[in-house]
C-alpha cells in the first residue's frame, strides 16, 4: 500500500504535534501535586495553541483538496 505525499506529510505533522503536546503536558519530575487534564490544558496554553494551529492546517488542507486544480478548471464559455 502506497501512501500519497500529502497524506504522509500530514501523518508526520500529526505524530510530531502529538509528541510535543504530550511533552508539554507531562508533569515535571519533582512535581508532587496531581493535575487533571483540563487543568493542564488551562495552565499550559501551548497545547491549546498547537491544537488550534493543527486545526487551521487541517482546514487549509481540506479547502485545498476541495478546490479544483489548474488542469481541472472548467471553461464555462465552452459549455454554452
Q: What is the pTM of this model?
A: 0.41
Q: What is the count of structural domains for the chain? A: 1
| N-term to C-term CA, the chain | 43
Q: Which range marks the domain in which residue 52 is found?
A: 37-61
Cβ-based neighbours of 58, under 8 Å, separated by 6 or more:
10
Asked if the structure places residue 22 within a domain, the reply is no
Asked if the structure places residue 54 within a domain, the reply is yes
Asked if the structure places residue 71 within a domain, the reply is no
Of the two residues 2 and 48, the one the predictor is more confident about is 48
Q: What is the pLDDT of residue 5?
A: 76
Q: What is the pLDDT of residue 36?
A: 78
Considering Cα of 35, then 37, then 42, then 47, what sign does the dihedral take?
positive
pLDDT tens figures, 25-80: 776 676 666 777 777 767 777 777 888 888 998 998 888 888 877 776 666 666 55
Amino acid at each position: 500500500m502506497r501512501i500519497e505525499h500529502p497524506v504522509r506529510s500530514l501523518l508526520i505533522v500529526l505524530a510530531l504535534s502529538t509528541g510535543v503536546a504530550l511533552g508539554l503536558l507531562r508533569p515535571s519530575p519533582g512535581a508532587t501535586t496531581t493535575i487533571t487534564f483540563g487543568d493542564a490544558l488551562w495552565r499550559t496554553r501551548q497545547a491549546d495553541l498547537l491544537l488550534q494551529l493543527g486545526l487551521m492546517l487541517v482546514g487549509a488542507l481540506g479547502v485545498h483538496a476541495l478546490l479544483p486544480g489548474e488542469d481541472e478548471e472548467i471553461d464555462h464559455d465552452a459549455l454554452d
